[in-house]
Every structure is written in C-alpha cells, then in structure tokens.
A and B are shown apart, each in its own frame.
Chain A
Amino acid sequence: MENLVINPSLADLGLTAILFGIVILLSVREQLSLERTFTYAAFRAVVQLLLVGYLIEQVFHLDRWYWVVILLITMSIIAAKAGADRIKSKLPGLSLLVWVAIFAGTIIDTFIVTEVILKIDPWWDPRYLLPLAGMIMGNALNSGSLAGERFISEMRNRKAEIETMLILGFSSARACEDMKRVAVRNSLIPTLNAMFTVGLVHLPGMMTGQILGGVDPIIASKYQIIVMFMVASTVIITALILIKLLQRKYFTAAHQLRYNLL
C-alpha cells in the first residue's frame, strides 16, 4: 500500500461549511439557541488551529531550541489560565499554582517520553517535542482543573472534619488526606474510562491522525500505547502537585487552617 496523504486544499476546507451549516440548521430547527455560541466557538477554533499550525511551521523552519522552548512556555501559560478558569473558586494566586503543576507535570512526562522512550535527537526536535508536549499539557490541564475543583470543594464542605483532625493533633497533610484521595481519583476517572474502551469504541485522536497521515497502523498503535501511559502518569503527577500546592495555600506551617480562603 502506498503512503498517499490527501492534503486538503483551502477550497476543500471551505467545504466543512456544510458540516457547520448542519449544526446551525439543526440548532435553529430544534430551537437550541446554540447558533451564536457555536459560531463564536467555531471561529475561535479555526483561527486558533490555523495560527498554531502556522506557528509550528515557523518553529520547524527556524530550527532553534529556544523557539521550541518559548512556544512550550507560552502554551503552558495559556493552559494554566484555561485550567484555573475552569475551577470555580476565586482563590488568590490560583493560576500560578495551576501553572506550576501543569508545567512540572509536563516537563517530567515529556522528558520520560522523548528522552527515555523515544530518544529523540536533538532533544528539542519540534516534530516530536511539540505534539507530544502539547498532548501532555492538554491532559495536565484537564487533570489539574478536575483535581483542583474537587479538592477545593471537598475542603469547603468538610471543614468540620478537617478542624477535628487538627484539634486531635493530626498534621494538616493527614487532616486532608481523604480529600486528596477523592480529588485525585476524580481526575483519573476520564483516563481510566478511556483506557477500557480505547480501540474498541473509538480510535484516539493521535492514532487516527497518524493513520490519516499515512503511518502504518501498527506504528500508530505503538505510539498510542506510549500516549496512553503518558496521559495516565501526567494526570496523576499534575493532580498530586496541584493538591500539594493547594494544601500549602490552605494551611500555615503550624498546621492552622486559613479560614478566610474557604
């Protein structure tokens, strides 16, 4: 089988307007009032995707490690903002905590995947580093917002329990151990569910992309296995780092709860 990749022309891309039209038409017909939101979301998504495609192409072209790093840092800042926005709480400095968790989680996992497993050379080869780090970051974002949201709501709802544990002479880490467990498990549920059905019900985005891009399906599934474990470890690392940081925010060094933050 020849590796023929169909490269959609701009005119072909324009034909996706048919699919866009279907959504608008159904929204109007069924009175879903989604037209405005969907149009805005569609406009943003198209602009973002074209822009990122262009940016990555430029980074490929410039071929310098620092451009790759600058792009990754920018992506992580945007991810942190999006992650913090998804958490309902208005905890001061939350975006920074989310950024540290996402960045640390991404660095650890990206290093393992690109240096230990794939051994890419040079280490910053944007063709591998950007899509893999981007995928890791996307998962870190989801995990961070799920874990953060749940941990904060557990802290609020279980104030009496935390107070009791502190009074009885337990450390702040021990006092919110159960809240941590609940929050981390909560952030891992989507990944676990996906692992059970992967390949059976759906082909994951990256695998689909690689097959469409002409890669041998066996190679695509090998990559998907790497991605699957990469996602699971990113989720748990990011969630635990964020919760650790939140714990430090909620308690003083003398194991006192900062009531004003609840």
Chain B
Amino acid sequence: MIEIKNAFFSHPSQEYLISGLHFTLNKGELIFITGESGCGKSTFLKLLNRLLEPTSGSFELHGQRYSSFDTLKLRRKIQLVPQTPFLTQALVIDNLTLASKPEEDRIEMLMDGFNLSLDILHKSGNELSVGQAQRLCVIRALLLKPEVILLDEPTAALDPKNRSDFRSSFEKIRKDEGIATVWVTHDDPEGMEGKILHMENGKLGN
C-alpha cells in the first residue's frame, strides 16, 4: 500500500540523511526498523507521515502520489506516534478525543488492551508517567482508525515487564484491525513476527 522509490532527504545546507531509499509496506504488514541513533529513522517516519517533504523521490499510497492527497487526510490515514509523547494539561479523555469522536466502547477496549485504568481518563494530561503518556498517544492514534501506524520507539520509556505487555497488547490490536505498522526500535524485536530492516547510510537493508 505504501511504495517509496529512490527517496532523498536533507535539511537545508546539510548532508543527505536519507539517500536513495526504497521501501514497500503491504496491508497489515509489520516492519521493524533498527539502526544507530541519528541514522535517520525518525526522519524516515516523518517523511512517511508527510510531516517532512523529501528532497526528491516518489512516495505513493495505494498507487497514488502523496501530493495527490489532502495532506491533513493523508496524515490521519498514516498516523505517527513520535518518540516523545505529547499530551496537553487538559483531561486525558479530551486529549484522546482531540482529533476524533470515537465510541466510548472503543476507548474502553483500547485502555483495557494497553493495561491502563479507566480512572486516568479524568486526570490531567501532565499528571502521568512517561510510560502512560506513551501508551495514551498510541491509543489516540488508533482512535483515528488509521490504515498505517508509525511508532517511534514506543517502548523506550517502559521497564521490561511493561515493554513486553505493550508488545503483546499492540500485536493483538494490530492483527484484529489489520493495521500496517512501521516500528522503529532500539531493542531486539525478537519474539514478534515481522520483517526487520536495518537503516544505514540513509538506506534500508536486511
């Protein structure tokens, strides 16, 4: 469903961070991306979500160029969850429903799926631990019912127990809803099915 050919990206007056990258993501597929810090993994996710514009290269969703979509609608279809979770000081429930009007059942199902108590829905967004905020940001993205979800180190702030819980919770929802996923991680994604690609010199390889 997503097809990228020969993508290049550089910030003005800097060297290419992404250089000659090719990438394909199929419906419902899970792809892990590993690589050293600063190698361009987060930049790649921002390009996928069109938060950044590539210097050159072809980006297509369902065979149509990114530029032929309304950017704001495209971003809702391809949801990015950044590495640093951001919630406003408003109530958690208001943070979750900022961009969507989901049914209550769905919120409850997702909260339960990620081991979060319903009580925190009425807490302020800045009273939470980083781990809770990170999971809530994933839920907020899932409430938009995206076709693709891009996760930037979603378990970085979690301890091993919570990390493993997060993986199994996410895996269940991902499979149930058939969401294609690109997951940037530092950890070994051992035990989870999915393709692993390594990023080096601005390219992706096995």
Interface of A with B (CB < 8 Å)?
160-161, 163-164, 166-171, 252, 254-257, 259-260
The smallest C-beta distance from A253 to any residue of chain B, in angstroms, reads: 9
CB <8 Å contact, B86 and A169: no
Q: In the complex where A167-B51, A256-B51 touch, is A160 in contact with B84 (Cβ < 8 A)? A: yes
- Please report the C-alpha to C-alpha distance between residue A161 and residue B88 in the assembled complex, in whole angstroms: 8
- Please report the C-alpha to C-alpha distance between residue A161 and residue B99 in the assembled complex, in whole angstroms: 14
Number of A-B contacts (CB under 8 A): 50
| Smallest Cβ-Cβ distance to A168: which chain B residue | B99
Q: In the complex where A160-B86, A169-B99, A169-B144 touch, is A255 in contact with B72 (Cβ < 8 A)? A: yes
Segment with Cβ contacts to A, from B74-82, B109-117, B156-164, B185-193? B74-82
CB <8 Å contact, B72 and A170: yes
- Please report the C-alpha to C-alpha distance between residue A259 and residue B53 in the assembled complex, in whole angstroms: 11
- Please report the C-alpha to C-alpha distance between residue A256 and residue B76 in the assembled complex, in whole angstroms: 14
The smallest C-beta distance from B206 to any residue of chain A, in angstroms, reads: 29
| Smallest Cβ-Cβ distance to A261: which chain B residue | B12
CB <8 Å contact, B71 and A255: yes
B61-76 vs A, Cβ < 8 Å mask (1 yes, 0 no): 0000001000111011
| Smallest Cβ-Cβ distance to A162: which chain B residue | B86
Chain B at the A interface: mostly helix, strand, loop or mixed? Answer: loop
Contacts of B53 in A (CB 8 A): 252, 254, 256
The smallest C-beta distance from B5 to any residue of chain A, in angstroms, reads: 20
Contacts of A259 in B (CB 8 A): 11, 52
Interface of B with A (CB < 8 Å)?
11-12, 49-53, 67, 71-73, 75-76, 79-80, 82, 84, 86, 88, 98-99, 140, 144
- Please report the C-alpha to C-alpha distance between residue A168 and residue B139 in the assembled complex, in whole angstroms: 12
**Which single member of A160, A163, A170, A257 contacts B99 (CB below 8 Å)?**
A170
Contacts of A254 in B (CB 8 A): 50, 53, 67, 71
Contacts of B73 in A (CB 8 A): 169
Contacts of A169 in B (CB 8 A): 72-73, 75-76, 99, 144
**Which single member of A163, A167, A170, A252 contacts B79 (CB below 8 Å)?**
A167
| Smallest Cβ-Cβ distance to A257: which chain B residue | B51
The smallest C-beta distance from B205 to any residue of chain A, in angstroms, reads: 27
Can you offer 12 A-B residue contacts whose CB atoms are under 8 A?
A163-B51, A164-B82, A166-B51, A167-B49, A167-B51, A167-B75, A167-B79, A169-B72, A170-B72, A254-B71, A255-B72, A260-B11
Q: 8 extra interchain contacts, Cβ-Cβ under 8 A, other than A167-B82, A256-B53?
A: A163-B86, A167-B80, A168-B98, A169-B73, A169-B144, A256-B50, A256-B71, A257-B51
Contacts of B49 in A (CB 8 A): 167
Q: Which 3 A-B pairs have the closest CB atoms?
A: A168-B99, A169-B76, A164-B86
